[in-house]
Amino acid sequence: MKVTDHVHAIKIPFAVPTRFVYLYFIYGKKICLVDSGIASAKEKIFGYLRETGRDPQEIQLLVQTHSHADHIGLSAEIKKISGCKVAAHVAEKNWIEDIEEQYRERPTPTFRSYVQDSTKIDLVVKDGDVLDLGGGENLKVIHTPGHSTGSISFVYPTDGALFSGDAIPLAGGLPIYADVFVTIQSLKKLKAVKGWKALFSSWHDPIQGEKVYQTMDEALAYMQKVHGVVRQENAGAPSLDAQALTIRVLKVLGIPENLASPIVVTTIEAHRQAGQHPDIL
């Protein structure tokens, strides 16, 4: 769907109920793609381009917010078809260029069905870099680690838009981040920037206006809530292993226990390790 003058959003559902991921097209003379979704969404993604009068071969730049499977699934195919450049942070480069390494180090049940192949990174970017989109337009890189070490967000000044990937936790949703305090620092870094007109996250429907900042506040408050639940449950049963603690925490949060995957366990364990700090904000 078209959201702003230039930004189009594609919502890709997962097999897991209520779970989805967004990717975004920036339409200009050429096309910039923010993340590539999962392999099974190929026809949906390419079909949308054609329905809106564009072609996959027009993609000149693919920017990766990070290296996780639901963000790089079609990257290899898109690069092959369009010949586009692919940009990512150096800390995410290995997992994009070698998906077998990623699977060994971060195995998830859906990995094999989400990712098509490894993809060579052409542009290694860092905080403050500016990517030329042509026609006087650009994307600015903001390093926003926490969900992963090399997570990056992108600023599109033309539409006052922020593409945040998974940097902003979904309030009420599955908490997924590797480092509690670094995630908070990244959130506060984004919130401190004035003038956002639109927020394009992987986990939220597109958000515009004052709700952009409200969403960031809600994410921070949710992280504090999760932290409180972890402290409470850990205090009541400090001998629980990480998996058992995660199941108890999800139950209190009203999240199905069967979603206690290893990546969620990592998040809950990160909160337990930060437990000596009652107020993490």
Pair 93, 206 in one domain: yes
Strands 123-125 and 130-134 turn out to be unpaired
CATH classification of the domain holding 146: 3.60.15.10
Residue 210 maps to a domain: yes
Phi, psi of 79 (to 5 degrees): -65, -40
Judgement on whether residues 112 and 49 belong to the same structural domain of the protein: yes
Q: Are residues 215 and 237 in the same domain?
A: no
107/204 same-domain check = yes
Contacts of 182 (CB under 8 A, 6+ apart): 145, 146
What is the distance in angstroms between the CA of the first residue and the CA of the last residue of the chain?
35
Mean pLDDT over 70-81 rounds to 96
| Residue 34 and residue 71 in one domain | yes
Cα-based distances in Å from 83 to 55, 58, 72, 78, 119: 13, 9, 16, 8, 12
The answer to whether residues 15 and 57 belong to one domain is yes
Q: Is there a domain that residue 280 lies in? A: no
Does one domain contain both 197 and 241? Answer: no
- pTM here is 0.95
> Quick check: is 190 in a domain?
yes
User: Does any domain span residue 165?
Assistant: yes
Q: Please give the backbone phi and psi of residue 106, each rounded to the nearest 5 degrees, phi first.
A: -140, 65
pLDDT digits (tens, 9 = 90+) for 231-253: 999 999 999 999 999 999 999 99
Mean pLDDT of 138-160: 97
Query: In this structure, is residue 211 part of a structural domain?
Result: yes
Identify whether residues 262 and 133 lie together within a single domain. no
Mean pLDDT across 216-230: 98
The answer as to whether 281 is a domain residue is: no
The whole domain housing 188 covers 7-223
Q: Residues 219, 230: one domain?
A: no
What is the mean predicted confidence (pLDDT) over 195-221? 96
Say whether both 110 and 134 belong to one domain.
Answer: yes
Tally of structural domains, the chain: 2
Nearest to 161 by CA among 192, 206, 126: 206
Position 109 pLDDT exceeds 90: no
137 and 236 assigned to the same domain: no
Which pLDDT value is given to residue 18?
63
User: What integer pLDDT is reported at residue 50 of this predicted model?
Assistant: 96
Residues 134 and 264 both lie in one domain: no
| Per-residue pLDDT, 17 | 57
